[in-house]
């Protein structure tokens, strides 16, 4: 698993912005999912849903500030009880200390918090160790070391979780020169956020306005009253200006000292986007190398035929769509997770799945693949039948999303919840109503959005109030109500439709 890896930045998903031959191998030898979704598009909650097979209002990990209670059952505990050797290596991001560190794993070695790209500290079985090198390489080395020392007579479950391509996108030195030619800018890069709920215009996730010096590997020219390391760190976290007059702006590459100047605002925007996307894609090049090493290992050990290999990310990411970086929203780019799976015994080569699956389904699927019982507390469904191919008429094809962190100071992203099926997406923004039961239910401040994902895949036109879509609004609201009742999440909306039950 990677952190913040958008499907678009994997070769086999077809966007054509980068090459990932090793990740593509999983797809050509297995199955690519086109509609895998996250239940809460942010790191910590997604990881909790994956581990426990429950939604965030049940596992309690609703935000970045709510660490997991590691006494909860999780998929690793079930697999270990079922005879598996288990390991968790790399990005954990579910909390630290006795009650929040990994549990259910025979071996664990994890980055504290977000972790560092270079010379990271790891917490290994409760002890701090510092390892020199590049995080993606180190996580891969440790994964291979663990595989080598395992008992070959017992099955194994390894979670190899990379930090990359998370902000602040520090590439390995050997990949710093990759992607010299410009990457195509998405067609919604200059989105004006008309026809949408106000959250889109309010979010502070814009490449033009909200990138920091550190994000883009830049430093400010010398000067100012502050000196020393602390001042330097503070200045790196400062946003790069986006002034109307760019003539005085000078940006300096932190590694080479190269100085950049600009003739126009458009030129500055272009520079920021290219700098961002190239740094992001360069960190993915290292992940691709890592996946190649793991696949080669399985080949050399004659394990490929009998091992399920999955590549995914904790959520998607905006790569300039709507002018944004980051995630959090139920809009498609951050809502969709890449999901590739290879398992020659069941999964046909170069197959594709268009059914709607979610990260909350992973744990049940893992247990099903292992031939173990799926415990009744899990809320996700095993999609083993979809892996075997062919249509499944009984599969629900519904994804529920709820983002709880209302207007955090860094991103100002609004809390919301909603539902997507194959065709439509319904989103409820409770805005200052906070969505708490017993509050004003969002009151007049609330907003609904409905997108026709077939006719409007870029999600530029909210058709919630369009008379032509009123029967769809009613249908989707019923699906949402039914889903919330099924999983026990409390709605903050009152019935918006006349005649609605
Ligand atoms: Ca993430």
pLDDT at 435: 56
The C-alpha atoms of residue 80 and residue 74 are separated, in whole angstroms, by: 10
- Identify which of 270, 186, 210, 266 has the alpha carbon closest to the alpha carbon of residue 459: 186
Residue 352: closest CA among 324, 315, 305, 391: 391
For residue 20, the CA-to-ligand 1 centroid distance in Å is: 20
Ligand 1: centre distance to CA 343 (Å): 26
pLDDT of the residue at 439: 52
* Ligand 1 geometric centre to CA of 93 (Å): 9
291 alpha carbon – ligand 1 mean position (Å): 19
Span from the CA of 37 to the centroid of ligand 1 (angstroms)? 13
Cα(116) to centroid(ligand 1), Å: 14
pLDDT given for residue 236 in this prediction:
87
Write the CB contacts of 390 (distance below 8 Å, at least 6 apart in sequence).
none
- Return the number of other C-beta atoms located less than 10 Å from residue 282's C-beta: 22
Residue 219: how many other CB atoms lie within 10 Å: 16
- Straight-line distance from the first to the last Cα atom of the chain, in angstroms, rounded to the nearest whole number: 41
Task: Give all domains of the chain, ordered by start, each with its CATH number.
Answer: 7-107+136-171+278-387 (3.40.720.10), 199-272 (no CATH), 400-487 (3.30.1120.10)
| 316 CA from centroid of ligand 1 (Å) | 8
Backbone phi and psi for residue 36, each to the nearest 5 degrees, phi listed first? -100, 130
Global pTM reads 0.96
For residue 2, the CA-to-ligand 1 centroid distance in Å is 8
Provide the pLDDT for residue 436. Answer: 56
Q: How far is the CA of 264 from the centre of ligand 1 (A)?
A: 33
| CA of 481 relative to ligand 1 center, distance in Å | 28
- Between CA 55 and CA 114 the distance in angstroms is 22
Cβ atoms of 339 and 36 closer than 8 Å? yes
Q: Write down the pLDDT at residue 271.
A: 98
What spacing in Å lies between the alpha carbon of 102 and ligand 1's midpoint? 18
Beta strands 156-161 and 85-91 are parallel
Ligand 1 center from residue 144 Cα (angstroms):
24
In tens, the pLDDT along 161-173 reads 999 999 999 999 9
Torsion of CA 482, 488, 493, 495, to 10 degrees: 40
Q: How far is the CA of 469 from the centre of ligand 1 (A)?
A: 34
Q: Identify the pLDDT of residue 119.
A: 98
The predicted pLDDT at position 443 comes to: 57
H or E stretch at 420: strand 416-420
**CA of residue 49 to ligand 1 center, whole Å:** 13
Residue 407: its pLDDT value, please?
94
Low pLDDT (below 50) residues in the chain: 440, 442, 498-501
| Helix, strand, coil percentages, rounded to 5, for the chain | 30, 15, 50
pLDDT tens by residue, 340-349: 999 999 999 9
Q: CA torsion angle for 467, 470, 476, 480 (degrees, to 10)?
A: 100
- Measure 149 CA to ligand 1 centroid, in angstroms: 30
């Amino acid at each position: 698993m990677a952190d913040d890896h958008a499907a678009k930045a994997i070769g086999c998903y077809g966007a054509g912005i980068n090459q990932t031959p090793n990740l593509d191998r999983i797809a050509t030898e297995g199955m690519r999912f086109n509609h895998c979704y996250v239940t809460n598009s942010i790191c910590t909650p997604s990881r909790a849903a994956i581990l426990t097979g429950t939604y965030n209002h049940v596992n309690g990990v609703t935000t970045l500030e709510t660490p997991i209670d590691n006494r909860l059952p999780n998929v690793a505990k079930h697999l270990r009880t079922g005879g598996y050797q288990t390991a968790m290596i790399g990005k954990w991001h579910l909390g630290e200390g006795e009650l929040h560190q990994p549990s259910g794993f025979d071996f664990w070695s994890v980055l504290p918090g977000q972790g560092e790209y270079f010379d990271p500290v790891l917490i290994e079985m409760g002890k701090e160790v510092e390892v020199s090198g590049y995080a993606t390489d180190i996580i891969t080395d440790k994964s291979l070391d663990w595989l080598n020392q395992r008992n070959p007579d017992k099955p194994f479950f390894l979670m190899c979780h990379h930090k990359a391509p998370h902000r602040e996108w520090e590439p390995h030195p050997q990949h710093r020169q990759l992607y010299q030619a410009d990457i195509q800018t998405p067609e919604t890069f200059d989105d004006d956020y008309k026809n949408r709920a106000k959250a889109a215009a309010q979010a502070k996730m814009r490449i033009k306005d909200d990138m920091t010096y550190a994000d883009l590997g830049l430093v400010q020219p010398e000067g100012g009253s502050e000196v020393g390391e602390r001042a330097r760190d503070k200045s790196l976290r400062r946003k790069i200006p986006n002034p109307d007059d760019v003539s005085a702006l000078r940006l300096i590459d932190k590694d080479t000292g190269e100085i950049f100047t600009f003739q126009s605002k458009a030129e500055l925007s272009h520079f920021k986007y290219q700098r961002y996307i190239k740094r992001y894609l360069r960190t993915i090049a290292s992940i691709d190398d890592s996946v190649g090493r793991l696949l080669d290992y399985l080949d050399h050990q004659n394990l490929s035929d009998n091992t399920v290999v999955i590549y995914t990310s904790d959520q998607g990411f905006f790569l300039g769509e709507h002018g944004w970086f980051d995630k959090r929203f139920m809009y498609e780019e951050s809502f969709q997770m890449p999901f590739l799976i290879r398992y020659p015994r069941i999964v046909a080569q170069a197959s594709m799945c268009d059914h709607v699956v979610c990260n909350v389904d992973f744990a049940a699927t893992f247990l099903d693949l292992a031939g173990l019982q799926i415990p009744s507390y899990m809320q996700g469904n095993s999609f083993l039948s979809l892996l075997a191919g062919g249509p499944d008429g009984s599969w629900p094809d519904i994804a529920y999303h709820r983002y709880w962190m209302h207007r955090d100071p860094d991103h100002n992203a609004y809390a919301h919840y909603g539902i997507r099926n194959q065709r439509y997406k319904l989103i409820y923004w409770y805005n200052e109503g906070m969505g708490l039961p017993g509050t004003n239910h969002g009151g007049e401040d609330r907003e609904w959005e409905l997108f026709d994902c077939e006719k409007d895949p870029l999600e530029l036109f909210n058709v919630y109030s369009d008379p032509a879509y009123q029967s769809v609004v009613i249908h989707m609201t019923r699906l949402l109500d039914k889903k919330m009742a099924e999983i026990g999440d409390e709605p903050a909306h009152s019935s918006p439709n006349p005649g609605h039950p």
